[in-house]
Chains A and B, each alone.
Chain A
Amino acid sequence: KAGVTQTPRYLIKTRGQQVTLSCSPISGHRSVSWYQQTPGQGLQFLFEYFSETQRNKGNFPGRFSGRQFSNSRSEMNVSTLELGDSALYLCASSLGAGYQETQYFGPGTRLLVL
């Protein structure tokens, strides 16, 4: 089975622009979560989607949004980019959205905001 894929792998944007990142989960997985990873803050939870519905959201401003499609693929969007948004954005998928679900992470998209 193919793993979680994320596109693009690397991205350079300037302040004020917006960006859309894409995540394809493992086939059959219906839950997708997004995380932001920075050296100072570590892995921070952004949001989780299951069956096209956002089930949980982390403590990030409204500039960060996401969605999930009927085939479980997910996108996240960051509008009005700020320098502090530079980070590794990780997507993780799991079979369901219950307890004790193992999360399978993609390789991440490294975003640099200039």
Chain B
Amino acid sequence: SQKIEQNSEALNIQEGKTATLTCNYTNYSPAYLQWYRQDPGRGPVFLLLIRENEKEKRKERLKVTFDTTLKQSLFHITASQPADSATYLCALEKNTGFQKLVFGTGTRLLVSP
């Protein structure tokens, strides 16, 4: 069956370190992958999109990689800050004619001062 897996355990890191979050998928051939941030009681907010033919995408302190052979995306936050504490969701869109985003369950990141 199709599955998107993100680390269900919270990731605790110290301020200033690099946080690395993982998104693994099986039985999908996504055209592209998106990462979202969600704060408690709020809807997800779009961060980055990476296409299947792109290996890496950067935006300020954020970096996303996409390995279609490993079926994995890594999401990095460099020089992390307490304000980065949130749940991060990856989402795939299947290469079909209709828009449909399939989300992972998310990984909670806690950045300590």
The yes or no answer to B16 lying at the interface (CB within 8 A) is no
Task: Using A99-B31, A99-B32 as known contacts, say yes or no to A55 and B44 having CB atoms under 8 A apart.
Answer: no
> Could you tell me the distance between the alpha carbons of A101 and B100 in the complex, rounded to whole angstroms?
10
* Chain B contact residues, CB within 8 Å of chain A: 31-32, 34, 41-46, 49, 51, 89, 91, 93, 98-106
Interface residue tally on A, bucketed by range: 20 to 34
Of the listed stretches A12-20, A42-50, A79-87, chain B binds A42-50
Of the listed stretches A61-69, A70-78, A104-112, chain B binds A104-112
Which of A4, A42, A94, A100 has the most B CB atoms < 10 Å from its CB?
A: A42
How many A-B contacts are there with CB distance less than 8 Å? 63
* Chain A contact residues, CB within 8 Å of chain B: 4, 31, 33, 35, 41-45, 48, 55-56, 58, 90, 92, 94, 97-108
A-B contact pairs, 27 of them (CB 8 A): A4-B43, A31-B99, A41-B105, A42-B89, A42-B104, A43-B89, A45-B101, A45-B103, A48-B99, A48-B100, A55-B98, A56-B100, A94-B99, A98-B99, A99-B31, A99-B32, A100-B31, A100-B32, A100-B49, A100-B51, A101-B99, A102-B46, A103-B101, A105-B44, A107-B42, A108-B41, A108-B42
A-B residue pairs, 8 tightest by C-beta: A105-B43, A42-B105, A43-B103, A56-B98, A102-B46, A56-B100, A105-B44, A97-B99
Task: Using A100-B32, A100-B49, A102-B49 as known contacts, say yes or no to A43 and B99 having CB atoms under 8 A apart.
Answer: no
Q: CB within 8 A of A45: which of B42, B49, B100, B105?
A: B100
In contact, A99 and B49 (Cβ under 8 angstroms): no
In contact, B106 and A42 (Cβ under 8 angstroms): yes
CB closest residue in chain A, given B49: A100
CB closest residue in chain A, given B104: A42
> Could you tell me the distance between the alpha carbons of A44 and B4 in the complex, rounded to whole angstroms?
12
Which of B31, B32, B43, B104 has the most A CB atoms < 10 Å from its CB?
A: B43
A73 to chain B, nearest CB (A): 17
CB closest residue in chain B, given A104: B46
Q: CB within 8 A of B99: which of A35, A55, A105?
A: A55
